[in-house]
Chain A
Amino acid sequence: MKRLALAAFAATLAELSGVALTATAVWLVVRAADQPPMAALTVAVVAVRALALSRGALRYAERLAGHDAVLRHLADLRGRVYESLLRQPVQRRGGDLVTRLVSDVDAVQDVVLRCLLPACAAGLVGAVAVLVVPALVLPVLLLGVVLPLAAFSLADSHLRALAPLRSRLAERTVALVHGAAELTAFGVLDDELARSGRVITDIATREHRATTRTGALTAVAVLIQFGTALALLSTGAPAPVVLGAVAVLEVFLPLTTAAQRWAETRGSLTRVRELLTARRPVPALTEDLPPGTRLAVVGPSGAGKTTLLSRFAVPDARGALADAHVFHTTVRANVLLAKPDATQEELDFAAHTTDLDLPWDLVVGEHGTALSGGQRQRLILTRAVLSTPPVLLLDEPVEGLPPTQADQVLHRVLSTAPSTVVLITHRLTPLAHEHFDEILVLDNGVITQRGTHATLVTTPGYYRDRWKDETSKSEYRNSYR
């Protein structure tokens, strides 16, 4: 804050030096035309040279102080954002959301340097100028308040109208890139590109329209700046005042652009502020999970099983969740995350439990892209097993493995697991063979049935139907080989 005030002060002095340089130089010339004795000009000559030097030096000081303040602030802000993220409940964050959060934080830097500092400096310069030449109050208010406000509201309404189009474009792009192979296979890639093209054209049309308004604002700013000079001239103001006024108003010209910039970054600032002030939520379902409980959750796809699981994410819980992140580093480091001081024996044992057959020093790509789906799944599961947590959460931990292997891995994981376990599964076979205290049947986010496997298979309902399906369909055939 102190650094920022320093930067604003230096900026103001730099601008004032510039104005004073113009006014003094003009005064010097006009005075010299009267051919006074040389001594009458000495002070002005010295002043012109000093002001010329000080303006550059002050500008340099302002830039350094401003950037210094902003960078320190940014370091602190990143820490605070991260800490407040820690306080939030576990939730899925798409890659785009994460990128946006990071650039939101960076946008704060922009606002301070490009909007806040110039506005402060212009305000102070304007105040001084009005004190010296009271007639300047009108143009200063026009250029410093009215025009920026107009620019802000124009940009704001423009961006509001544009926002849904832009997010539609972003969504379409993601779907297009993900689904390019499918679109090609179905022969509709060109249709889809044309549809996205129409969104792009809509955006361009709106942006086109907005240029007329910003162009008009720029023209009006020039008119006010030199119109003021003309008005002063016609009232017979002395030359230093006229050209000094032009220099003062020059300081205000960037404010119109700054106001537009402010409108552009306002969304970022709001999002960062909301994140920082978010209250710590109360964990919802923790009391439903007494220590030592083994709980299974089943239900049709889309029933809200994963959402339910995330509510069990109490501080002691570890596990293999659907949104588990594979970091851009070695397999070893990714697994060691669970237990940094684990020995090689512990690592090997965990890998044996989950059938993980990857080299420990293999570097996985960004987001684990160098791994196949099944390998990624087992890496995440190995991490969960290694951590031996008080509460183990498993979300379809063996999906993507052949059923025999899947059942074996799940059996080994559960037999080495701690007392409290929550398992989401669509296959009911493991629930018949492994011990679970309670099975929750979920539909549409609501628990429709609960009980043990033995009671549920005898109760009419979703669970019994599915169990009959699964057992009748040669699901028990040992293997396909």
Chain B
Amino acid sequence: MRDRRYATLLGVFAVATAVLVLAQADLLARVLSGGDGIGPLAAVVVVRAVLVGARRVYAQRTATTVKAELRKQVLADAATRRGDRAGEVSTLVTRGLDAIEPYLAGYLPQLAVAAVVPLAVLLRLAFADLTAAVTILVTLPLVPVFAALVGAHTRDSTERQWAELSAVGGHFLDVVAGLSTLRLFGRASAQAVTVRAMATAHADSTMRTLRVAFLSALVLELVATLSVALVAVPVGLRLLSGGVTLEVALLVLLLAPEAYLPLRAAGAQFHAAAEGLAVLEQVAATAPPPATANRRPPDLSRAEIVLEDVGVRSLRGFSLRIAPGERIALVGPSGAGKTTLLSLLLGEITPTSGRVLVGGVDLREIDRVAWLRRVAWVPQTPTVFEGTVADNIAVGGPGAVAAAHAVGLGALVDARHALSSGERQRVAVARALVRPDARLLLLDEPTARLDSGTEATVLRVTRTLSRGRTTVLVAHRPALLDEVDRVVEVR
């Protein structure tokens, strides 16, 4: 809807531009050849200036609005799709989407002008001086034709070049990211030579490509300037023989470059625009449709949870019965699938074989939002969001301050600074604490990376929390195993 309105308005702007270009050339030719009309000329100049400014404001505002909408969409998609790299999404949301501005606010308006103005110029010249009009009509198509020819010739090498560019960039990125590791093993200075060598080799091959790629710009430039020469010289000679008037000759001279200018301008913005278009395509890859499961979750104080021959990721044919209110610890070597099991119970992932049943109902058929309202989860590496410690605990539910005191974070309630890994872990435990309605408690190594003092606090809280609730916890530390009814090994 807005797309069409934008296109229409850009068309209107382009037609207005064409009218003003013609009027300005006509008036300028008349004044220069001794006629009067400087007043109207001044008026045309003012209107043209206002039009150029207004078009820019309008185009940029549209781009700004589109950008904001896409930013929101990318965030929502990334949050539902999962598994994206946070750094990449954040780059796309900030700098990445800025790249669509040259496309929407620069290239598209220029494209509209390029579609309208050369035609208008040709029409006007056909009435003034047919020879000039024919000259331009013949040479004008050469611009896109040559551009396409050179483009086709360089496409392969340009693509190779881009692949190489991202390889060089990727290598530089990996080397910088791993710098402290490289340095720790004395390999860092050896890499300095490689960094230089790769960049120099890249410069060499880039120049080979550019030598050809810039030919298209050269052709554009030559066609445009030579056509002016082709128009100017014959007009001058016909003027000599009295074939045309000075005013017409000047008009031809003024209008001839205007026929080529929009095409060249659009061509110049093509590269920046291509980048923006690529970003738009990347964003268009939409998120999967939301699940439509709608069964009410069974009452967990009575319902049994059954994993039936479940297979996903590293889990193979895993079965487990969890009685209502039972507390279970999962142990086993790292990589065996303990965390995967918790993700299954959360509904974050679904099994590729087998089923997860809650009170006899497949978890896939249960309304996820309602199910999650019944779950409290302490992840392995909790995320800290913007805001104070209290704000962060409040993510779980109301009563953040009391919960902060309970996990020994009372002094940090209003802190905003970066938290240590132990403090983060305690925030996560506090989040579980403020969910009194939760009937299923999932804990993923809640005491990892805690010193034993803090561990004691967390254990005490966990004990209170798990009382009367079905609990599944992943444990490495024996201290946790005292808290459970049954230890289950995952291998």
Contacts and interface: CB of A to CB of B under 8 A. Distances in A.
B183 A86 contact: yes
B403 to A, nearest CB: 13
Given A33-B239, A56-B225, A177 B84 contact: yes
Contacts of B174: 327-328
B200 interface: yes
Interface string A447-468: 0000000000000001001100
Contacts of A477: 478
B94 interface: yes
Given A173-B75, A239-B250, A321-B180, A373 B380 contact: yes
Interface string B251-266: 0011000000000000
Nearest to B337: A372
A93 B169 CA distance: 17
A85 B176 contact: yes
B377 A185 contact: yes
A300 B422 contact: yes
B384 A200 contact: no
A227 interface: yes
Contact of B232 (A48, A56, A182): A48
A219 B53 contact: yes
Given A49-B229, A78-B195, A175-B385, A86 B395 contact: no
Interface centre among B50, B90, B368 (most CB of A within 10 A): B90
A469 B450 contact: no
A323 interface: yes
Given A211-B61, A325-B180, A372-B335, A178 B383 contact: yes
Interface stretch (A120-128, A187-195, A343-351): A187-195
Nearest to B50: A219
Given A21-B225, A101-B176, A473 B452 contact: yes
B278 interface: no
B218 A48 contact: no
A56 B32 contact: no
A10 B420 CA distance: 57
Nearest to A41: B236
A29 B250 contact: yes
Interface stretch (A68-76, A143-151, A279-287): A68-76
Contacts of B475: 480
Contacts of A325: 177-182
Given A179-B385, A313-B184, A325-B177, A29 B235 contact: yes
A176 interface: yes
B357 to A, nearest CB: 20
Contacts of A375: 334-335
B31 A233 contact: yes
B240 A35 contact: yes
Contacts of A401: 334, 476
A92 B179 CA distance: 10
A208 interface: yes
Contacts, number: 431
B295 interface: no
Interface string B179-216: 11111111111011001100110110011001100110
Nearest to A79: B196
B236 A374 contact: no
A251 to B, nearest CB: 14
B90 A177 contact: yes
Contact of B177 (A64, A98, A203, A400): A98
Interface stretch (B1-9, B38-46, B302-310): B38-46
Nearest to A94: B87
A101 B68 CA distance: 26
Nearest to B218: A60
A26 B253 contact: yes
A29 B246 contact: yes
Given A215-B56, A325-B177, A102 B45 contact: no
Given A211-B56, A302-B422, A319 B184 contact: yes
Given A53-B222, A211-B57, A325-B179, 17 more contacts: A45-B236, A49-B233, A86-B188, A99-B173, A171-B386, A177-B85, A180-B82, A181-B82, A181-B348, A184-B79, A219-B49, A222-B48, A230-B41, A300-B454, A302-B419, A473-B482, A480-B478
27 contacts: A21-B228, A29-B246, A30-B32, A44-B236, A67-B206, A71-B206, A76-B199, A78-B172, A86-B183, A99-B173, A101-B176, A169-B93, A169-B94, A172-B385, A173-B86, A181-B348, A182-B382, A183-B79, A185-B377, A218-B52, A222-B49, A300-B453, A302-B419, A323-B181, A372-B335, A393-B184, A480-B331
The 5 A-B pairs at the shortest CB distance, nearest first, are namely A301-B422, A374-B334, A219-B53, A179-B383, A302-B420
Interface of B: 24, 28, 31-33, 38, 41-42, 45-46, 48-50, 52-54, 56-57, 60-61, 64-65, 67-68, 71-72, 75-76, 78-80, 82, 84-87, 89-91, 93-95, 169, 172-189, 191-192, 195-196, 199-200, 202-203, 206-207, 210-211, 214-215, 217-218, 221-222, 225-226, 228-229, 232-233, 235-237, 239-240, 242, 246, 249-250, 253-254, 329, 331, 333-335, 343, 346, 348, 368-369, 372-373, 375, 377, 379-380, 382-386, 395-397, 419-423, 425, 431, 435, 445, 448-456, 475-479, 481-482, 487, 489
